[in-house]
């Protein structure tokens, strides 16, 4: 699938690096099949030294030579990037955007008519090849091209195709979700320290508790509420703790956080 493809990355930040790392470790792609352009020369040199990939002098040359072009840039710079490459895509490469909130319509308007475009919402666990990515295809994307796009993101975790109308909600849930989970992890570790545990012990117990709980949900396929009930004995310690969480509105706060991030994603798309 990848043997003859030349992959171009515009943007070499954390997510771009995660995808490069995943593609090289989990697919038959070779380093000389990947080229990158980033506004930071220092960043490009680091990626070249670390992954032995090729560097491009500018975004236009990279676009002109790529079979698959991955736009790993911030939403605020997307307009400038599209303006710089649109005249160099007459060969109609597959264009993949991982910029949060930027719709297929906006991407299509900034690229030549007929360009196949896939919009992707990855998340930061892709850095350790445990990401959750959703992909929405544009009008001109073939099934074979979508297979390629899915395979790219399966190299860094789980990847599924969704309707574009869900992408803002995905951004609010799995895109921003790692930050919510990290806040919970930090809070549980601090709580253990508050109760007298050494910090390293509290950290190890917290991380294993989360890992074990996720595995339990995945492997049993039971509803989280059913598993919660198994842990919650009448008049016991867990129900007392759950009462505090309900009193403090933790469930509602997490739901509101996802809602707020979803609405912000829509704002970014409109702007």
Establish whether 148 is an annotated binding residue. no
Contact 100, 271 (CB under 8 A): no
| Residue 13 known to bind ligand | yes
The answer to whether 214 is a known ligand-binding residue is no
Answer yes or no: is 216 a known binding residue: no
Q: 93 with 35: CB under 8 angstroms?
A: no
Question: Would you say 10 is a known binding-site residue?
Answer: yes
Position of tokens 């910090």? 199
The H or E element spanning position 54 is strand 54-55
20 annotated binding-site participant: no
Question: Does 15 show up as a binding residue in the annotation?
Answer: yes
Cβ atoms 44, 59 nearer than 8 A: no
Contacts of 202 (CB under 8 A, 6+ apart): 188, 189, 190, 191, 192, 193
CA distances from 216 to 7, 93, 157, 221, 228 (A): 38, 42, 19, 8, 11
| Torsion angle of the four alpha carbons 14, 15, 20, 25, in this order, in degrees rounded to the nearest 10 | 90
Residue 22 annotated as lining a ligand binding site: no
Question: Where is the binding site for NADP(+), in residues?
Answer: 10-15, 72-75
Question: Where is the binding site, in residues?
Answer: 10-15, 72-75
């Amino acid at each position: 699938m990848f043997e003859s493809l030349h992959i171009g990355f515009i943007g070499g930040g954390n997510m771009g690096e995660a995808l490069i790392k995943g593609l090289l470790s989990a697919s038959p792609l070779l380093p000389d099949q990947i080229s990158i352009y980033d506004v930071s020369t220092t960043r490009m040199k680091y990626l070249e030294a670390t992954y032995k990939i090729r560097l491009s002098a500018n975004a236009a040359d990279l676009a002109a030579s790529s079979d698959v072009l991955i736009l790993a840039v911030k939403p605020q710079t997307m307009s400038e990037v599209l303006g710089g490459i649109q005249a160099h895509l007459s060969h109609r490469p597959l264009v993949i955007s991982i910029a949060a909130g930027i719709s297929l319509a906006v991407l299509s308007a900034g690229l030549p008519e007929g360009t196949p475009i896939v919009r992707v919402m990855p998340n930061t666990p892709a850095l350790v090849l445990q990401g959750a990515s959703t992909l929405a295809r544009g009008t001109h994307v073939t099934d074979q091209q979508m297979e390629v796009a899915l395979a790219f993101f399966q190299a860094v975790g789980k990847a599924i195709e969704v309707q574009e109308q869900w992408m803002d909600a995905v951004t609010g849930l799995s895109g921003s979700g790692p930050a919510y989970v990290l806040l919970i992890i930090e809070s549980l570790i601090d709580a253990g320290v508050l109760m007298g545990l050494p910090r390293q012990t509290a950290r190890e117990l917290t991380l294993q508790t989360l890992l074990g709980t996720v595995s339990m949900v995945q492997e049993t396929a039971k509803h989280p509420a059913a598993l919660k009930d198994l842990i919650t004995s009448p008049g016991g310690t867990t129900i007392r703790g759950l009462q505090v969480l309900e009193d403090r509105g933790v469930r509602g706060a997490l739901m509101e956080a996802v809602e707020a991030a979803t609405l912000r994603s829509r704002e970014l798309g409109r702007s």
